[in-house]
Amino acid sequence: MGAFADPGRITRAGLRLHPARRDGRKLLPDLDAAIRACGLRDGATISFHHHLRNGDAVLNQVMDAVARAGLRDITVAASALFAVHAPLIEHIRSGVVTGLAASTIYGPLAVAVSHGILARPVLMYTHGGRARSVESGDLSIDVAFVAAPVADSYGNLNGTHGRAACGPLGYAVTDAHGAERVVAVTDTIVPYPAVPIEIGQDWVDFVVPVASIGDPSLIVSGTTRATADPVALGIAETAARVIAASGLLTDGFSFQTGAGGASLAAAAYLGTIMAERGVVGSFAAGGITAGIVRMFDAGLFRALMDVQAFDIDAVDSFRRSAAHQSMSASMYANPHNRGCVVNRIDASILGAAEIDRTFNVNVTTGTDGIILGGSGGHADTAAGASLTLITTQLVARSHAKVVDDVTTVTTPGETVDVLVTDGGVAVNPRHPELADRLRAAGIPLVGIDDLAAEARRRAGGPARPRAADGRIVAVVEYRDGTVIDMVPAA
């Protein structure tokens, strides 16, 4: 039906829950007690969010407790999984975990999944698609575990304070509103009430204290540092010029970029142009980074719409700025609510592992077929933004990145508008008026077929043909719940 199909009237699933007794207590001594109190059983689905990113210590502690409880056949539905979650491999080998779902998977677990460690394919959704899935009932969560930087004993939570403060709890909000049982795991219990409350006591069944929910210094992952590479900086500057020439860069401009190095550099260039022109934007959305906070603090945006802080500067900004607004995963990117924030983005700059001649983008697998990430908000933002730019070098580590066919389709080409590379800028033929604007602004354009040919030439050989068969190890679900691609075993 395409990326912009109208689903018509829909019905969200009913919610099973266990009302609190008036005198009921929620504070439990440990995770083992929480697992018993939730009545967790073999075959259940449990969920996690990734606000602590590669610093998260909650998932591993919970899974160890699940294993101690002798449970089997558990599905782990995470918003994202990082290198720190490699211990899941052992839980998969032992049969504790037999199902996995995540919008991105990084590190050793991604490699193990790619090689077929699981009998059932992994479900890879988008951030917005995951929210849709929880709300529709497609993803039925028995117990959501929420890593809470601060909690009180009756289940009010926030990420504003605490030793592992992570800022907005946008992904956790959606889980807490959709799970039958919600367990808050915290290392900082404060006196009731834990204001400012991000997730209220009316959504939390139990509170469990642990020694540490994680290492806040590792919220910043490698993907959130700006680039210093001159080629990448050239691409970033061109991307900013494309936006400046698009006609969108006027007062009220709204912007999102991923956490990739080139995207962050492009944001910096864009900020310079905005300051020169005196443009005041309405909001930047995301995943918020230090670079975006600097633009906000400089008055280049009136507000930040934040589902997740990507670094400590963003956490600090969230704590001190009333116009640094949290949003749930659903509000951020779910196509099946009354209007998500990505719909309001003027320009978005996103990265690519590969992009093909119909502008389909792969951020799910490498050319070797190994999972190296996943959509996260990539497909959501591309679909929502008026102007979606993909920035990439033509070649990386002797692999062409502009190709005839992407190894895996993460984001459909119909939602991508411009490709900016070190070999030139290509505009999706769906947008001839945009091409005219860019040419008029002195930005030379090339055809994407030419970029693919140049990439093939520089890479020194034809692209490796995509694996045509083999057991499926991952199903890539588009934000609307349809299957957009599948990943065969590497």
Binding positions for its own copies, rule: CB under 8 A: 4, 6-24, 26, 154-155, 182, 191-193, 195-197, 200-205, 252, 282-283, 302-303, 305, 322-323, 325, 327-328, 330-331, 334-341, 343-344, 383-384
Output phi, psi for 398, to 5 deg.
Answer: 65, 10
Asked if 210 and 302 count as a contact pair (C-beta separation under 8 A), the reply is no
450 by DSSP, 3-state: which? helix
Contact 75, 64 (CB under 8 A): no
User: 206, 38 in Cβ contact below 8 A?
Assistant: yes
Q: Which is nearer to its own copies, 11 or 228 (CB)?
A: 11
Nearest residue (CB) to its own copies, 11 versus 471: 11
* Pick 336 or 401: Cβ nearer its own copies: 336
Tell me the C-alpha distance between 100 and 370, whole Å: 16
Give the nearest distance from C-beta 464 to its own copies in angstroms: 35
Alpha-carbon distances, residue 413 vs 332, 390, 394 (angstroms): 21, 11, 17
Number of other residues whose CB lies within 10 A of the CB of residue 337:
17
Asked if residue 230 lies in contact with residue 427, where contact means CB atoms within 8 angstroms, the answer is: no
Using CA atoms, how far residue 187 sits from 166, 318, 428, in Å, is: 13, 20, 49
> Could you tell me which of 223, 458, 450 has the C-alpha nearest to residue 350?
223
**What's the closest the beta carbon of residue 252 comes to its own copies, in angstroms?**
7
| Nearer of residues 331 and 395 to its own copies, judged by Cβ | 331
CB of 12 to its own copies, least distance (A): 4
CB nearer to its own copies: give 198 or 237.
198
Residue 243 CB, shortest distance to its own copies, in Å, is 19
- We find the least distance from the C-beta atom of residue 284 to its own copies, in angstroms, to be 11
Specify the residue, 4 or 436, whose C-beta has the smaller distance to its own copies.
Answer: 4
Q: Please report how close the Cβ of residue 398 comes to its own copies at its closest, in angstroms.
A: 38
- Measured between alpha carbons, how far is 323 from 321 in angstroms, rounded to an integer? 5
Helical residues (DSSP H) of 118-260, grouped into ranges = 127-136, 170-178, 230-245
Counting Cα atoms < 13 Å in the Cβ hemisphere of 226 gives 16
For residue 306, the minimal CB distance to its own copies (Å) is 11
Which is nearer to its own copies, 21 or 397 (by Cβ)? 21
Q: What is the smallest separation between the CB atom of 11 and its own copies, expressed in angstroms?
A: 5
The rounded distance, in Å, linking the Cα atoms of 77 and 238 is 38
For its own copies, which is the closer residue by CB, 12 or 439?
12
